[in-house]
Amino acid sequence: MPSSLQDQLIKKEELFGAQNYAPLAVVLEKGEGAYLWDVDGNKYLDMVSAYSAVSHGHSHPELVKIIQKQASKLAITSRAFYTEPFGDFLEKLTNVSGFENVLTMNTGAEAVETAIKAARRWGYKTKGIKEDAAEIIVADGNFHGRTTTIVGFSSEESYKDGFGPFGKGFVEAKYCWSECDLETSIKSFESKINKNTCAVLVEPIQGEAGIRVPEEGWLKKLRELCSKNNVLLILDEIQSGLGRTGKLFAYDHENIKPDGLILGKALGGAMLPISAFLSSKEVMDHFNAGSHGSTFGGNPLATKVACRAIELLYEDDLIENSAKLGEYFKSKLKAIDNKIIKDVRGKGLWIGVELEKSKVNAKNLCLMLLNEGLLCKETHKTVIRFAPPLMITKNELDWAIQKITKVIRSI
């Protein structure tokens, strides 16, 4: 139960804040590495990582130094001027990703909006689609952000309720999941392609939907389909990118390359919001001065931190650690072998445990885990997502597995 101090702070937030979240009853005050502390000094192992944003761990000392030094030197100017850190960041990100051009924004949703603009302009100016007729194919179960454009093509009705009318230009195909096998999914996408199709926009692994991992080979088939029909393949790797799945990008598991890539979250090293859309010069050259922008996008402070965050992915062996410990963690979760567990799935340190709907509510389980010192988050009432910082150790995971096993077997 929350202390009187926590209760007071929770009531203050509920009184003065909009009720667009339903947080667990804990008030956090401090973070370091894989751990968080509440205002009463209680310690918790972070198994959420701000939905993949805290891959480097909380308050990484190297990033703290960078942010302090750069903040005292130059933080914000807007893109009306050139700045010293920006070019270095662009060079670093293009070198590690293999893409030619980068357009920086702040949040993941902004980067998705940027990708939509880029795809449409390419469709009109390169492919020759009739003006205002461009279509983008998305997948059912998608989650790409919360803007009105993005929720307008979501298949989750609660995301759209009361926010219409929504824009046109999006059609939905079947993600490779559950009863929809690889061939059926590809045929679904193929059936939606026409002369006005400029892009396919999907998550290589659906996060918010419950860590849905498609069949092996699905992404490669989708790549072939897009190439055959002169359609851009754009992958949203805001959550799955930058080492989360045990590879730099989730699409690396299938040895393909998309035409456009959307990044965010971990790009800011758990310090600052920064996002990016990456693509070829052919696609990016359709942006011209005044066609798109952001006051804070590409600011010196965020780009300086992001540049170092990219380097630390390799220096701290975060990608390798995600691959190695991810497999270990998944195997241990599968070994719990309890009747309330329906499925355990994921790649790297991004794992979903699906519960039998009739037996337990996932949020209730998260509350029980909270009492054991684990911070976890459910999605869609039936799935608990486990996404610890990529710098987590085997000993810390073993401790978490003990607590998870204890809670599940107590039901």
The residue written with tokens 């994921």 in the block is 346
Catalytic, 236? Answer yes
Catalytic, 65? Answer no
Residue 386: HSE in the Cβ half-sphere, 13 Å Cα cutoff? 27
Is 134 within 8 Å of 201 (Cβ atoms)? no
- Using only the alpha carbons of the chain, give its radius of gyration: 21
Instruction: Please choose, from the candidates 292, 230, 237, 304, the residue with its C-alpha nearest in 3D space to the C-alpha of residue 264.
Output: 237
Catalytic, 265? Answer yes
**Residue of 86, 89, 99, 143 with catalytic role:** 143
Q: Work out whether the CA dihedral 28, 33, 35, 40 comes out positive or negative.
A: negative
How far is CA 257 from each of CA 1, 42, 314, rounded to the nearest angstrom? 49, 44, 21
Is 191 within 8 Å of 172 (Cβ atoms)? no
For residue 273, say if its preceding peptide bond is cis, omega within 30 degrees of 0. Answer: no
Residue 354 CB contacts under 8 Å (≥ 6 apart), including other chains: 210, 341, 342, 343, 344, 345, 382, 383
Q: Could you count the other beta carbons within 10 Å of the beta carbon of residue 195?
A: 12
**Residue of 92, 174, 221, 265 with catalytic role:** 265
Count of residues in the chain: 411
Beta strands 43-46 and 35-38 are antiparallel
**HEC secondary structure over 251-308:** HHHHCCCCCEEEECHHHHCCCCCCEEEEECHHHHCCCCCCCCCCCCCCCHHHHHHHHH
**Residue of 38, 46, 236, 259 with catalytic role:** 236
Token duo for residue 288: 């011209």
CA–CA gap between residue 409 and residue 140 (Å, rounded): 34
Long-range contacts of 162-169 (CB under 8 A, 24+ apart): 169/120, 169/134, 169/135, 169/136
**HEC secondary structure over 19-43:** CCCCCCCCCEEEEEECEEEECCCCE
DSSP character for 379?
Answer: E
Token duo for residue 76: 């914000």
Kindly list the catalytic residues. 143, 236, 265
